[in-house]
Structure 1
């Protein structure tokens, strides 16, 4: 009736869920973080994201929290904005799984919707201790239809007692899911609404993009493909029996950025995929507060399953935490109280400077709805230049390396990270903005800063998350916290760390002077050597190419002269050849540095061209000399005298040029040294003379003046000695004929080698210990596995899968048995070993590898007849290592052969691979030298050491005439020879 009031409720479209979930989430890392926070609220001890490759990439989130019953799933998980998040009640003790009370991370009851940003469809499986399993299936694309009412979308769920029965039940869930598209048969009114809504959505999508696949069809296809697959559940702790409770989210049709981890890009560029990988690592590596004094007892990780490999890409870093932060040269640790006053400890340039207190420049708000509340701050930083850092160069480099993944000023609430603070693109505390005004004065840099703000829900209730879980709501409290931190950073920079601080002015010159010692000079010398070498290669490369062209022209002239039989034409070729000999000397390179990095390829190209030029020139000169001797018409002495004159002139010209260049350099250097000493001669008088005036005026005493003069003399003597004594020693060494350039190059190469080896020797020692432990553990586990497998029902043992698993177990045991023969023990005895035994041994060991890679392993009759006496533990590892290397290198060769033979009374192991680069041969048997991808460079070193213990030797054969196959050839010479 007109004029009468009426209550009309809001009606909600299904699209609202999409708005609250997928569209609100900023990115994939934030979505994962939200789901992990839900696991934290469920008192999980571990939570993980798994990414699976294959035809249809999938993802899974597993936790071992308290799980859900059917009632929990219906009344909480499927209720958006549930009251459990709004209330302050603690979780029941029976659900805390023995853990202390955790502050709730969820605020709005919509975090679970983040799963929509990970993938289109999710199968939720959960187990609570006092309830059966529950499973539900959601396809988030149901909520993209703007014509569907939320009340018409239903989520199929099922209860069951054992995971084994889930396979048959999930088919029913998939069928039920389609009732939200086609409508249920027993509800004609709802079915009509749904069919009409999806028809309207199909028409809308067709109008927007006629070629695009309809959302309704994609939902049906997923069901038809029986996705999400149940296979990932095998990695869930509840499925494996490691946990009694927990929740698993199996996600299908995953986000393209996640699919990129397992090799599927789906329209995402490689650069975009790399950016998301970096973001995921940076975001989730710092998921929990690493600087907290108390451990959250939550283990988290991201694991990629790809091509049979299981690779953890994100995990808590045990070496990164409060201890790391306190070890930095700059460190601040304190807290703001409820009035905004900061109190804390400060360390600058490695020195503890005590407690500081800062009263805020502007008092923060105190109204209950606006106040910030107390919060903690800890920050560490390091100097950008190693020369001004108190950290040793190697430590400085490691810290700089860590900054790639861990730098930034993060915010943590109750121990878990608040996004997006601390990310490179976020500048909430205006650190980078201030640096653009004056980088030195402001000091702080997001990429050189590690730290966090620690807020809590109890102490900072007004610091609330945005609906999109990406940052704090921009309210008075958030702005006040921002202002307090900005003020603190500016004052710390001005008082302690920045270019305007007196502390920096007092301490930095001494640090810089200390660092500018012998190590820094050696580094500069190494850099000069590298620069000189690179410059020489670049400058001489064009000359080398012209010389190769000239060599070809000389060859053509020589061929023509030989054909014509003209002595004059033949002798005329001698001049160009002599010029090329002179050029050859000029094209020689200075000593090669140990490390060339990316320049190695350029150098090797030059080296190969130079070798070709030198060999071609020598060959041409041999031909020229022979032909000159054959067809020359002048007497031998005349020809020889003419040749002597040309060679003498070439040598003389070279020496005269060197004398001129050296004399000019010495003259310039002598003038520089004279000027430097002339200036230093005046230094003492210039600084000591003013003391006489002060003494005459009575401002200082005689003893003070004399003491100052003596002190100044000591300072200058020490400074000048550090400059001129090393110079004099270097000149003396040059006068004694010592090649400082070669000596420095050798020392640098040796130092680089030792530094690398020292860093890896500890790892190698640990590997040895680990092998001993693993050998014992693997044998024990094999016995358990064998008992368990053969305890299965006969029906299971008759399956192909069981036989494959048992075969893999037996093969593992066989490998262990082979390896045990190589282990030196007290029971190992010297005995006769023959070639056939060795061939059979390595053939069985590498049987699968040889077969899979289609490599032939062959032996000559002479090798099969070889006999010698030795410990098996001394010989068998050598053949295993050598054939393992050969198997790697021949895998991509057109012809794949490995051959065992005999040559010159020694054993020869050869392959048809690419062989060893000539530059690598001298380093081949060094510990940790390798050119293999993911190689460790231990095998050949151990081969040489093992054989040397018995008086035997191994060498790499470089002479092509002594090789059996075209690739790598290793010759083993036994101490007492070989019979056969």
Structure 2
């Protein structure tokens, strides 16, 4: 056997690897420029200046002298860093710095962005001749690196032989004292500043791409979105809540400005549209949502239009959504009941717009405004720096449009109407990793799936709950305005007057007949609507009053079962015990009989006429219906009268429906709250009013205008949004009124409603 001695081998890549990796890792020149500017950010630069030199107004190169110059005032590099790190692609220097320090921030507190060491490939994506001059802080000298591969083709062939990577040479020279990066006045951002004696300047020539003004404008847009475009809007918000802590900690602690010059002139791309966007976000959004997802507590902690809310990830308002079940249910079991999400906590800000033509005036948008909104999506920022391409108008990284294609469109907000930012950090979101290509997150793994699903679920809730309510309220308000304003009748009158002035007898007669028919149909439909509202009110009232009836029936069954069990044992029944049990049963049956009698009065009868009713008497009957529930939930009941007895000219049915609804609402909002829990009622006969109050959470300020509108409810899916609406409708037909109590009439710090029995 002739075995050769094992030989140690080493990789020896060909030079074409330079351009091959560039093509794979850096998609286009936009990404290339972003990568280079991230290096400036990591170097604690306060500004970066990108100059297109020897370009015409349309950014077409003027001959072979065209070049792109990128310069900053960062920390710069010394000769040792260049020789031992910069010329070594995929250097782990930044990664090691993070691990050794256990702190991935720069001296100015910025979180280091680069760690893969592939930024040099971005240079070759832009051009084939590179000249980089850099001067380290506190150094009198500067170093210049020159790399020229312009004479080679894409395959780096030399005499039909492939060149190895180590055959590509570059030169390194020093100048002491420095000649280029020196303290001098230079134009930056439309003004002259004194340059600091440190930083980096890179000239790129023999350009690879065909530039145009539109392409440069896209690059500028990308660069302006490198940091959050929402910071200005956020800074103008006056209120600061606890859940903002995470997002504020991710923002850079120093300014970082980016400027694009063409030859000697600053190109002010997009400054006006940026201001326009800020105005739209502040003034035209239906909802401004600011919050965070807390992974430890499995809770969304957020505010909508500055109103704070919390929703547990296990709350039925979320678990009942199809979006949630598709993401987190396996074989009808919620997997999040047994595990935590794996993406980490994150913060978010969303701005939801109404793009429809019938949007409320305060939310309506012109064609230009809509185009500006559509130019933005939901951005993702890691430690204050954008993860590309998320947020681009053509990107659907959250699969919003895909999901809208699989569910009813009205169950999910669209990309076009949603602008926002989600902020993650390297510290809190270690499992969310960027692709090496710098295009989004790695799609494989539970963490990314959880992250995307959580955002989808939250946005689905926004669409189904607050947004849907707002849209229905707006529509109802418009319909009611048309109805109450007599718009149709006024139109008929105007038309009739115009016809009479023209003396067209036949047309006037036809119009008169149409108007008569319309009024007949209108009376019929109004009657139908009133009957429907009455039946709906009866249903709600019966449901509200049935709680104690069910408790009474359960007590009757319990007493009967006890007697049956004793009889089966063959024991003689103690007469006193038997009398006690039967008395209890009789009491329960009597209560049920009285309650059903009260309920019967709810149903309309042609014999039922208005009469003078002492409100206190009916109030006592309703209190008896709710006595069991009040006791069970530890709710105190207080009742007070002032002046003469309060009397209303109405029917038992109307007053019972109103009182049952008020008791039911108070019990709902008081149940589960900290003690004391109180319902307090004042009957003021002299003023002709009843004040009904509780010490629950009360009414939100932004809900006041909608409390008595149909289908508006603060109870989520548990509420129908009809109770107060029907109460107002019933009272108004008797010329009475119900409204939120004035400040001086409030009895308790929660919900206070005043019913006026003085005819309007």
Band of TM-score, shorter chain: 0.5 to 0.7
Counterparts of 1:271-286 in structure 2, within 5 Å, are 274=214, 276-277=215-216, 279-286=218-225
For 2:99 and 2:44, the matched residues in 1 are separated by 12
Q: Aligned in 2, Cα 1:18/1:236: closer, same or farther, shift over 3 Å?
A: farther
Mapped pair 1:680 → 2:651: no
Q: TM-score, normalised by structure 2?
A: 0.55
Q: Give the deviation of 1:413 after TM superposition.
A: 0.5
Question: Which of 78, 81, 93 is equivalent to 2:90?
Answer: 81
Mapped pair 1:382 → 2:391: no
8 Å contact 1:688–1:709 — kept in the other structure? Answer: no
Q: Aligned in 2, Cα 1:438/1:364: closer, same or farther, shift over 3 Å?
A: closer
Question: Which of 47, 70, 73 is equivalent to 1:61?
Answer: 70
8 Å contact 1:390–1:511 — kept in the other structure? Answer: no
For 2:441 and 2:9, the matched residues in 1 are separated by 35
For 2:291 and 2:85, the matched residues in 1 are separated by 39
Mapped pair 1:138 → 2:123: no
Listed one character per residue, the Cα deviations across residues 515-554 of structure 1 (whole Å, up to 9, x for unaligned) are: 9999x99xxxxxxxxxxxxxxxxxxxxxxxxxxxxxxxxx
Equivalence for 1:356 = 311
For 1:673 and 1:71, the matched residues in 2 are separated by 97
Listed one character per residue, the Cα deviations across residues 833-871 of structure 1 (whole Å, up to 9, x for unaligned) are: xxxxxxxxxxxxxxxxxxxxxxxxxxxxxxxxxxxxxxx
Mapped pair 1:156 → 2:171: yes
Q: Aligned in 2, Cα 1:337/1:663: closer, same or farther, shift over 3 Å?
A: same
Q: Give the deviation of 1:59 after TM superposition.
A: 1.6
Q: Aligned in 2, Cα 1:48/1:164: closer, same or farther, shift over 3 Å?
A: closer
Listed one character per residue, the Cα deviations across residues 655-676 of structure 1 (whole Å, up to 9, x for unaligned) are: xxxx99x979996687457524
- Which protein shows a greater Rg? 1
8 Å contact 2:105–2:112 — kept in the other structure? Answer: no
Equivalence for 1:33 = 34
8 Å contact 1:126–1:248 — kept in the other structure? Answer: yes
8 Å contact 1:123–1:135 — kept in the other structure? Answer: yes
For 1:113 and 1:446, the matched residues in 2 are separated by 34
Q: Give the deviation of 1:156 after TM superposition.
A: 0.9
Question: Which of 192, 199, 202 is equivalent to 1:249?
Answer: 202
For 1:138 and 1:115, the matched residues in 2 are separated by 10
Q: Give the deviation of 1:90 after TM superposition.
A: 8.5
Q: Give the deviation of 1:493 after TM superposition.
A: 1.9
Q: TM-score, normalised by structure 1?
A: 0.44
For 1:3 and 1:409, the matched residues in 2 are separated by 61
Mapped pair 1:447 → 2:416: yes
Counterparts of 1:530-545 in structure 2, within 5 Å, are none
For 1:83 and 1:703, the matched residues in 2 are separated by 84
Counterparts of 1:937-948 in structure 2, within 5 Å, are none
Q: Aligned in 2, Cα 1:486/1:710: closer, same or farther, shift over 3 Å?
A: closer
Structure 2: which 5+ residue stretches go unaligned? 56-61, 232-246, 329-334, 489-497, 535-602, 612-648, 656-727, 737-760
8 Å contact 1:325–1:450 — kept in the other structure? Answer: no
Listed one character per residue, the Cα deviations across residues 180-238 of structure 1 (whole Å, up to 9, x for unaligned) are: xxxxxxxxxxxxxxxxxxxxxxxxxxxxxxxxxxxxxxxxxxxxxxxxxxxx9987999
8 Å contact 1:389–1:511 — kept in the other structure? Answer: no
Q: Aligned in 2, Cα 1:329/1:109: closer, same or farther, shift over 3 Å?
A: same
8 Å contact 1:365–1:480 — kept in the other structure? Answer: no
Which stretch shifts more, 330-339 or 310-319? 310-319
8 Å contact 1:325–1:380 — kept in the other structure? Answer: no
Q: Give the deviation of 1:709 after TM superposition.
A: 7.8
The SS at the match of 2:604 is: helix
Q: Give the deviation of 1:239 after TM superposition.
A: 11
Q: Give the deviation of 1:460 after TM superposition.
A: 1.2
Listed one character per residue, the Cα deviations across residues 463-511 of structure 1 (whole Å, up to 9, x for unaligned) are: 22212111112221222212222222223322232xxx45543444326
Equivalence for 1:299 = 256
Question: Which of 506, 510, 515 is equivalent to 2:477?
Answer: 510
Equivalence for 2:111 = 103
Mapped pair 1:463 → 2:472: no
Equivalence for 1:703 = 650
The SS at the match of 1:675 is: helix
Listed one character per residue, the Cα deviations across residues 266-305 of structure 1 (whole Å, up to 9, x for unaligned) are: xxxxxxxx4x456434433311023456452343334242
For 1:87 and 1:322, the matched residues in 2 are separated by 43
For 1:237 and 1:709, the matched residues in 2 are separated by 68
Mapped pair 1:289 → 2:260: no
Counterparts of 1:945-960 in structure 2, within 5 Å, are none
Q: 1 or 2 for the larger relative contact order (CA 8 Å, sep ≥6)?
A: 2
The SS at the match of 1:33 is: helix
8 Å contact 2:38–2:113 — kept in the other structure? Answer: yes
Question: Which of 112, 116, 126 is equivalent to 2:120?
Answer: 112
Equivalence for 1:216 = none
Counterparts of 1:176-325 in structure 2, within 5 Å, are 241-257=194-210, 259-261=211-213, 274=214, 276-277=215-216, 279-291=218-230, 294=248, 296=252, 297-305=254-262, 309-313=265-269, 317=274, 324=281
For 2:410 and 2:199, the matched residues in 1 are separated by 52
For 1:241 and 1:391, the matched residues in 2 are separated by 46
Mapped pair 1:371 → 2:342: yes
Q: Which structure dedicates a bigger proportion of its chain to strand? A: 2
8 Å contact 1:160–1:166 — kept in the other structure? Answer: no
For 1:66 and 1:386, the matched residues in 2 are separated by 53
Listed one character per residue, the Cα deviations across residues 610-666 of structure 1 (whole Å, up to 9, x for unaligned) are: xxxxxxxxxxxxxxxxxxxxxxxxxxxxxxxxxxxxxxxxxxxxxxxxx99x97999
Equivalence for 2:449 = 479
For 2:368 and 2:26, the matched residues in 1 are separated by 34
For 1:517 and 1:398, the matched residues in 2 are separated by 34
Q: Give the deviation of 1:149 after TM superposition.
A: 0.7
The SS at the match of 1:387 is: coil
8 Å contact 1:375–1:454 — kept in the other structure? Answer: yes
Q: Aligned in 2, Cα 1:515/1:17: closer, same or farther, shift over 3 Å?
A: farther
Question: Which of 434, 443, 452 is equivalent to 2:403?
Answer: 434
Q: Aligned in 2, Cα 1:684/1:367: closer, same or farther, shift over 3 Å?
A: closer
Equivalence for 2:660 = none
Question: Which of 50, 68, 79 is equivalent to 1:70?
Answer: 79
For 1:365 and 1:151, the matched residues in 2 are separated by 56
Listed one character per residue, the Cα deviations across residues 20-79 of structure 1 (whole Å, up to 9, x for unaligned) are: 324421222222211111111111111232223133432222221111112222222212
Question: Which of 104, 107, 132 is equivalent to 1:124?
Answer: 132
8 Å contact 2:380–2:423 — kept in the other structure? Answer: yes
8 Å contact 1:389–1:396 — kept in the other structure? Answer: no
8 Å contact 1:67–1:247 — kept in the other structure? Answer: yes
Which stretch shifts more, 665-674 or 20-29? 665-674
For 1:91 and 1:64, the matched residues in 2 are separated by 26
For 2:172 and 2:504, the matched residues in 1 are separated by 88
Q: Aligned in 2, Cα 1:298/1:320: closer, same or farther, shift over 3 Å?
A: farther
Equivalence for 1:903 = none
Q: Give the deviation of 1:398 after TM superposition.
A: 6.8
Q: Aligned in 2, Cα 1:43/1:166: closer, same or farther, shift over 3 Å?
A: closer
Q: Aligned in 2, Cα 1:36/1:709: closer, same or farther, shift over 3 Å?
A: same
For 1:150 and 1:165, the matched residues in 2 are separated by 30
In angstroms, what is the RMSD of aligned CA positions?
A: 4.6
For 1:252 and 1:462, the matched residues in 2 are separated by 39
Q: Give the deviation of 1:17 after TM superposition.
A: 2.1
8 Å contact 2:650–2:734 — kept in the other structure? Answer: no
Q: Aligned in 2, Cα 1:467/1:329: closer, same or farther, shift over 3 Å?
A: same
8 Å contact 1:163–1:239 — kept in the other structure? Answer: no
Equivalence for 1:412 = 381
The SS at the match of 1:696 is: coil
The SS at the match of 1:469 is: coil
Listed one character per residue, the Cα deviations across residues 925-970 of structure 1 (whole Å, up to 9, x for unaligned) are: xxxxxxxxxxxxxxxxxxxxxxxxxxxxxxxxxxxxxxxxxxxxxx
8 Å contact 2:434–2:442 — kept in the other structure? Answer: yes
For 1:247 and 1:318, the matched residues in 2 are separated by 31
8 Å contact 1:121–1:252 — kept in the other structure? Answer: yes
